[in-house]
A and B are shown apart, each in its own frame.
Chain A
Amino acid sequence: DAGITQSPRHKVTETGTPVTLRCHQTENHRYMYWYRQDPGHGLRLIHYSYGVKDTDKGEVSDGYSVSRSKTEDFLLTLESATSSQTSVYFCAIRGTGGNQPQHFGDGTRLSIL
């Protein structure tokens, strides 16, 4: 298994509160990604990182921010959570090289009441 750990695995919180999800990797991979997965929408990219302090927006970045201060950690923050951000969040990593696949963490199930 790829060395990816997501925390927390489950979280329930209230609308308007800040939430931070963590992705930790032990593979020393350059690329890290945050996705959300919802019924009827499949996997959608939120943000990704191509190196320490290098990040870019994905398809559904509104309401989310990210930070990567170390190679191994990629944080996803919901500054003020809304019910529409209830979802399952997956982190993925990818090695350098054009044809490398992404490997996924176990996911975080986030419920915002």
Chain B
Amino acid sequence: QKEVEQNSGPLSVPEGAIASLNCTYSDRVSQSFFWYRQYSGKSPELIMSIYSNGDKEDGRFTAQLNKASQYVSLLIRDSQPSDSATYLCAVNKNAGNMLTFGGGTRLMVKP
């Protein structure tokens, strides 16, 4: 079992819809969770951080964390074609120095 798992996709949603991206992790001591967006040929860009159970909203993005079920999700409301990218989930264990990355989910938003 991989430490951080994501469905590779592609996840295809129409413009204006809600895109839901999911990530599960295996280590219960994980404390910090991050979502990165990576456009094709570009570097990963941090878009959300979440540390506590519940929801965290930032503009059109909402991160959701459920430590009991060991999953973290990212919702993108009013999806735009410019949101088409690969989204990487990253997990930090024990407030340590390393991140473990999932393989990423490719999102396609169709006009």
Residues of chain A whose beta carbon lies under 8 Å from any beta carbon of chain B: 31, 41-43, 45, 48, 50, 58, 90, 94, 98-99, 101-107
Contacts and interface: CB of A to CB of B under 8 A. Distances in A.
A98 B32 contact: yes
In the A-B complex, the 4 residue pairs with the smallest Cβ-Cβ separation, listed nearest first, are A98-B95, A104-B43, A42-B103, A43-B101
Interface of B: 31-32, 34, 36, 42-46, 49, 51, 88, 90, 92, 94-99, 101-104
Nearest to A1: B45
Contact of A99 (B51, B88, B98): B51
Given A101-B34, A101-B46, 10 more contacts: A31-B97, A42-B104, A50-B97, A98-B31, A98-B95, A99-B51, A101-B32, A101-B49, A101-B99, A104-B36
Contacts, number: 50
Given A48-B98, A50-B97, A98-B32, A105 B49 contact: no
Contacts of A50: 97
21 contacts: A41-B103, A42-B104, A43-B44, A43-B88, A48-B97, A58-B98, A90-B43, A98-B31, A99-B31, A99-B92, A99-B95, A101-B32, A101-B49, A102-B34, A102-B46, A104-B44, A104-B45, A106-B42, A106-B43, A107-B42, A107-B43
Contacts of B43: 90, 104-107
A52 to B, nearest CB: 15
A64 B103 CA distance: 23
A42 B38 CA distance: 11
Contacts of B103: 41-42
